[in-house]
Amino acid sequence: MSDAAIPVRRALVSCFDKTGVTDLAAALHERGVTLVSTGSTAATIREVDVPVTEVAEVTGFPECLDGRVKTLHPRIHAGILADRTDPAHIAELAELGVEAIDLVVVNLYPFERTVQAGAGDDDVIEMIDIGGPTMIRAAAKNHGSVVVVVDPSDYEWVLTEIDDQGGVTLATRRELAAKAFRHTAAYDTLVASWFQRDEAFPSQLGLALPRASSLRYGENPHQGAAYYARPGAGGLADAEQLHGKALSYNNLLDTDAAWGMAVDVDEPCVAIIKHTNPAGFAVADDLEQAYVRALEGDPVSAFGGIVAANRPIDGATARRIGEVFTEVVIAPGFDDEALEVLTAKKNLRILCTPDASRPRGGQQLRSVAGGILVQDADVGDEPWGEWRVAGQVQPSEATLADLRFAWLACKHTKSNAIVLAKAGQVVGVGAGQMSRVDSVRLAVERSGDRHVGAVLASDAFFPFRDGPDAAAAAGVIAMVQPGGSVRDDEVVAAADEHGIAMVLTGRRHFRH
């Protein structure tokens, strides 16, 4: 394979996305390149008075079957696949009367966009491109002799090389070929995923995620990192950064955790997150008070945290946020005053999301050595109706409301997780401990004296009565936990002895 730049004398252009195609065609024509194209692309090129030959004229066969067959013909693919360094190939092209194609410019039917628009099966199937991927793969395979371009943003790059080098260099052809194969691989993955959309865990998992950004580093400076996301998937993938430095790996992890927590509540809510755990979480009648109450949860740990709100942020709330060093603020909107206040903080990252609805369905992926773990995401409405009071003490309606709030907070806290809450405000958190009773003790310690009269949520069952005993000694008035331990009777009996309500959910919320 020669390192020399190859000249471009003949190009095949067939694009669904016609962005920049007329400028490209005109530029190629000015450089003496002969153009071949399919029906609609040819018509677009003719609009700017650039001469073009239709594929049907080359093949001697009309486009047919409503356009399903256009380029699938030896006169096209022999012209693309011929090895120009092989004299036998050159001789065979001459014998067959086939002209070589030096440049293939193709992009594909909008399959993903059609699926996202909710189209029916027949319309989606029509957007499965056949001729396009075939031409792309053929040109990419033969990049020793052919240039392939699938992205309009690369048009200028190719034209510049033609001008500066007299053709396109091997290094560029190889890079464009790699991009082409990535493009068709992603496309085929999307098609396969659509066909197996009713299989929760298919026999083979394919991922087709474009790189959204390169990151300075990962969790630590010696680790490389990047962020891959698909617009339209919701959450961070659709967030617009309005201000501040680029998001880091840790920012993204924490912001995702904060956003998931804030939108899990219906009332005006603010979550303040550090290392994916809540430093503060509260609801109120308005967002400013929700922030104030969230900050009261652990004002020391809130320093350098991530703030998420499930309502647009107003000026009053923004001024409160501005009083504390904060890494990221994410919300479904900001009024003018809020933006004026927050953008005064040079390094504060401000993210605006288009939707604050609770995530539903979907799957969660996590890497392990040599593979990926996949599970259904722990999202959606809680089955409150399945809760049952296990002991003799009945919680009041106000206590039950606090138990529900504490349970939602616990769902977003690393296991073993214990959350203390009072009047819609988290007042103490014990997260990530190896022993559940240690999580209870830590939550009590972090609460100051606010544990008295608080309720407790535990993300999994109490294996022994030591946890409830420690909570009762601290003044906790009610507890909620999944149940399911072989010692449930002892645990419930302990609650009864202390005069504490014990509610069992029947559902666990481990978060590793």
Tokens (6 digits) for 364:
């969660």
Of the candidates 18, 245, 275, 345, the residue annotated as catalytic is 275
Residue 305 near residue 279, CB atoms below 8 Å: yes
Of the candidates 18, 73, 89, 141, the residue annotated as catalytic is 141
Tokens (6 digits) for 322:
């501005």
* Distant-in-sequence, close-in-space partners of 504: CB < 8 Å, separation ≥ 6: 387, 388, 390, 480, 481, 482, 483, 488
Which backbone phi and psi does 432 adopt, to 5 degrees? 65, 25
H-helix or E-strand spanning residue 283: strand 277-283
Q: Which of 272, 235, 242, 239 is nearest to 339 (CA)?
A: 242
Side chain identity at 228, as an amino acid letter?
Answer: Y
* Cα–Cα distance, 53 to 75 (Å, whole number): 14
Q: Collapsing DSSP states into helix, strand and coil, what is residue 290?
A: helix
- Residue 141 bears catalytic tag: yes
- How many beta carbons lie within 10 A of that of residue 393, not counting itself? 17
Strands (E), 87-210: 103-107, 147-149
* Cα–Cα distance, 306 to 429 (Å, whole number): 17
Residue 444 near residue 420, CB atoms below 8 Å: yes
Side chain identity at 127, as an amino acid letter?
Answer: M
Q: Which of 116, 113, 261, 102 is nearest to 167 (CA)?
A: 102
Q: How many angstroms separate the first and last alpha carbons of the chain?
A: 51
- Residue 73 bears catalytic tag: no
Side chain identity at 138, as an amino acid letter?
Answer: A
* Start-end of H helices in 170-314: 170-195, 249-262, 287-297
Tokens (6 digits) for 124:
């989606």
Which backbone phi and psi does 479 adopt, to 5 degrees? -135, 150
* Cα–Cα distance, 422 to 451 (Å, whole number): 8
Active site residues: 141, 275
